């Protein structure tokens, strides 16, 4: 080992999850650095094709949603197992899916992170680490190493951090191997979707009008190694009876429906987020969303532990809250994967699902789930808002009208007093929690639940989830402030 540098947090991996986490930590004033293998955010091949409403909301909470919105296309339909659901009546400002490729999303996030002056060590890899009671020695390629208080593995599905920490990754082996490619074809192919025993196959025209985007299953799961044009031709012939004269691939990549989740998201000073913690088939487009949202859940908690505001136990709530969210995504993704096959019985099931989703209640329920708007962290009994995302209300404050999400731009907790102005006193937490008197006369509507009673005050965590809601006289407020934002100052 040679030269050592110190950072409070080192993030292994600057994909969407690592970038979002870096931004969150930097906003909270933490000395954070990213170590990233790639020279830039360039991706060899397309991955996520867009952002879902809750992801757009969390970006809006930081004041950066517009950067994405101006570059993408919105559609008020979201896919579920071949059916397209109308999501226009979801109670959110962002009642649409934003079509925007992953590389563009990463570039925008990287721009934000750069503005926040986060150092990014590119073309370097984390190759190992050793942790002790006070910190982690993070080893990099070329013999460099960093000393950090915490190391977060945002290093993707094959996560070295997860493996080196000895964290188990139980789940299901692949049953589908798919190739995703961009090629030229001598003949006009049969455009669109085709269902086979192996899942959904697709041929689509790419923006340049010349190349073809291909998603095609291989006959046998478990193929390894770099896929070739020959592999692609074989797979095309197996499905369409011809490879349409495919040639000149700009990329060919393989992905599977392997479905696994880390048994633990934390081993002492080492944490996992994003694909490092959970992998699944891309059907339904959830991976990037839950990775970014893992980051938003973890960032403020880690920052508070590092600053000494909260005890280390706060980090346990990261796993308690985010593990069930990913477990549910894994389950519904497996269900959707099953529904992509072509067996006549599966087709009957798919038709039955489509009929069900034609009904309002099931549609709203599934729409709220796949868009991430119905996430409910189990914070115990209380007002229906407790543990749910706060809606982006149009408030009126002494300073004028303001959107609630604007109050979260600095990633700091907010206590919103909607009752008598000056009716609340949280002096012992005033150094950590912003108290804002505001007026709001409109309805409180939550996804799936519908209208809920207007609370007199709401304590909102930096990630936009409600830590407490009720009457200012409720002694539970002091408990919630202590639980989430540390003991009262003397
Ligand atoms: C074909 C396909 C289609 C998809 N479509 C969608 C979709 O429509 N919607 C959606 O939400 N999701 C989709 N996904 C999933 C999405 O791409 C992932 O969930 C997302 O990229 C996860 O982000 P991440 O930052 O956690 O991991 P990654 O994006 O994998 O980023 C990990 C980063 O870590 C770096 N790295 C790895 N190891 C090291 C190391 N040792 N040291 C330093 N750096 C390291 C890598 O270079 C990379 O930049 C799709 C995936 C695939 C394969």
> Do 480 and 418 fall within a single domain?
yes
Do 165 and 34 lie in one domain? The reply is yes
For 9-31, what is the mean pLDDT? 98
The proportion of the chain whose per-residue pLDDT surpasses 90, expressed as a percent, equals 83
Mean pLDDT of the 378-391 span: 97
Question: What atom of ligand 1 comes closest to residue 180's alpha carbon?
Answer: 1
Q: Is the pLDDT of residue 422 over 90?
A: no
CATH of the domain at 334: 3.50.50.60
Q: Within a 10 A sphere around the Cβ of 8, how many other Cβ atoms?
A: 19
**Is residue 350 domain-shared with residue 410, that is, in the same domain?**
no
Q: What is the mean pLDDT of residues 16-24?
A: 98
- 388 lies in some domain: no
**Residue 221: per-residue pLDDT:** 66
Tell me if 324 sits within 8 A of 274, measured CB to CB.
no
Does residue 139 surpass a pLDDT of 80?
yes
Does the Cβ of 288 fall within 6 Å of ligand 1? yes
Q: Which of 195, 226, 256 is the last residue of a domain?
A: 256
Supply the residue whose CA is at minimum distance from atom 51 of ligand 1: 47
Q: 166 and 79, same structural domain?
A: yes
Number of structural domains the chain divides into: 3
Ligand 1 centroid to residue 401 C-alpha, Å:
39
Q: How far is CA 180 from CA 203, 216, 273, in A?
A: 10, 7, 25
The sign of the dihedral angle between the CA atoms of 324, 285, 23, 275 is positive
What is the model's pLDDT at position 3? 43
Residue ending a domain, among 256, 280, 301, is 256
Across the range 158-174, mean pLDDT stands at 97
Does ligand 1 lie within 6 Å of residue 470's CB atom?
no
- Is residue 46 included in any domain, yes or no? yes
Residue closest via CA to ligand 1's atom 39 equals 155
Domain assignment present for residue 382? The answer is no
Q: Which residue has the higher pLDDT, 383 or 175?
A: 383
Mutate to test the pocket of ligand 1, among 10, 12, 15, 217 (most ligand atoms within 8 A of CB): 15
Q: What is the atom index within ligand 1 of the atom nearest the CA of 290? A: 11
Residue nearest (by alpha carbon) to ligand 1 atom 52: 47
- Could you tell me what percentage of the chain is helix, strand and coil, using 3-state DSSP and rounding each to the nearest 5? 30, 30, 40
128 shares a domain with 89: yes
| Same domain (yes/no): 268, 250 | no
Question: 25 with 82, same domain?
Answer: yes
**Residues 35 and 138 occupy one common structural domain:** yes
Task: Please indicate, yes or no, if residue 385 is contained in any of the structural domains.
Answer: no
Whether the pLDDT of residue 475 is over 90: the answer is no
277 within a domain of the structure (yes/no): yes
The answer to whether residues 69 and 162 belong to one domain is yes
Q: Which atom of ligand 1 is nearest to the CA of 124?
A: 43
Q: Which domain holds residue 456?
A: 394-485
The answer, yes or no, to whether any atom of ligand 1 lies below 6 A from the CB of 289, is yes
Query: How far apart (Å, rounded) are the C-alpha atoms in residues 130 and 192?
Result: 50
Strand 450-452 with 444-446, pairing: antiparallel
Please state the atom number of ligand 1 nearest to the C-alpha of residue 255.
53
Atom of ligand 1 nearest to the CA of 286: 11
Which of 241, 256, 271 is the C-terminal boundary of a domain?
256
Q: What is the pLDDT of residues 307-351, one digit of tens each?
A: 999 999 999 999 999 999 999 999 999 999 998 888 889 989 999
- Ligand 1 contact, 36 CB (< 6 A): yes
The answer to whether residues 139 and 285 belong to one domain is: yes
Ligand 1 pocket mutation pick from 158, 162, 286, 288 by most atoms within 8 angstroms of CB: 288
């Amino acid at each position: 080992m040679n030269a050592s540098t110190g950072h409070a947090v080192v993030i292994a991996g600057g994909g969407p999850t690592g970038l979002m986490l870096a931004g969150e930590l930097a906003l909270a004033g933490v000395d954070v650095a990213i170590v990233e293998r790639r020279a830039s955010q360039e991706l060899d091949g397309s991955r996520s094709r867009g952002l879902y409403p809750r992801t757009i909301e969390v970006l809006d909470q930081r004041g950066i949603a517009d950067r994405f919105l101006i570059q993408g296309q919105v559609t008020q339909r979201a896919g579920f197992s071949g059916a397209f659901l109308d999501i226009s009546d979801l109670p959110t400002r962002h009642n649409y899916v934003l079509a925007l490729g992953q590389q563009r999303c990463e570039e925008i996030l990287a721009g934000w992170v750069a503005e926040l002056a986060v150092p990014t060590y590119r073309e370097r890899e984390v190759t190992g680490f050793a942790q002790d009671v006070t910190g982690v020695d993070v080893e990099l390629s070329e013999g460099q190493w960093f000393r950090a208080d915490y190391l977060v593995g945002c290093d993707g599905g094959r996560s070295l951090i997860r493996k080196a920490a000895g964290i188990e990754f139980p789940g299901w082996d692949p049953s589908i191997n798919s190739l995703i490619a961009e090629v030229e074809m001598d003949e006009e192919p049969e455009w669109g979707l085709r269902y086979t025993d192996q899942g959904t196959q697709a041929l689509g025209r790419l923006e340049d009008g010349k190349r073809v985007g291909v998603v095609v299953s291989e006959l046998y799961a478990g193929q390894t190694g770099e896929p070739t044009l020959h592999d692609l031709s074989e797979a095309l012939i197996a499905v369409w009876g011809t490879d349409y004269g495919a040639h000149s691939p700009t990329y060919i990549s393989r992905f599977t429906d392997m479905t696994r989740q880390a048994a633990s998201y934390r081993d002492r000073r080492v944490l996992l987020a994003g694909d490092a913690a959970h992998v699944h088939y891309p059907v339904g487009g959830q991976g990037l969303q839950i990775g970014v949202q893992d980051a938003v859940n973890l960032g403020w908690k880690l920052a508070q532990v590092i600053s000494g505001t909260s005890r280390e136990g706060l980090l346990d709530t990261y796993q308690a809250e985010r593990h069930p969210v990913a477990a549910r995504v894994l389950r519904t993704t497996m269900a959707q994967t099953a529904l992509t096959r072509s067996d006549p019985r599966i087709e009957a099931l798919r038709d039955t699902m489509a009929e069900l989703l034609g009904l309002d209640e099931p549609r709203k329920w599934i729409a709220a789930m796949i868009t991430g708007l119905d996430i409910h962290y189990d914070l115990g009994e209380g007002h229906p808002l407790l543990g749910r995302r706060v809606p982006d209300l149009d408030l009126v404050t002494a300073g004028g009208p303001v959107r609630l999400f604007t109050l979260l731009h600095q990633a700091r907790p907010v206590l919103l007093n909607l009752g008598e102005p000056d009716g609340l006193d949280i002096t012992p937490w005033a150094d950590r929690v912003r108290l804002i008197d505001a007026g709001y006369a409109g309805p409180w509507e939550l996804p799936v639940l519908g209208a809920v009673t207007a609370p007199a005050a709401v304590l909102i965590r930096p990630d936009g989830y409600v830590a407490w809601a009720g009457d200012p006289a409720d002694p539970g407020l002091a408990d919630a402030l202590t639980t989430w934002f540390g003991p009262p100052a003397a």
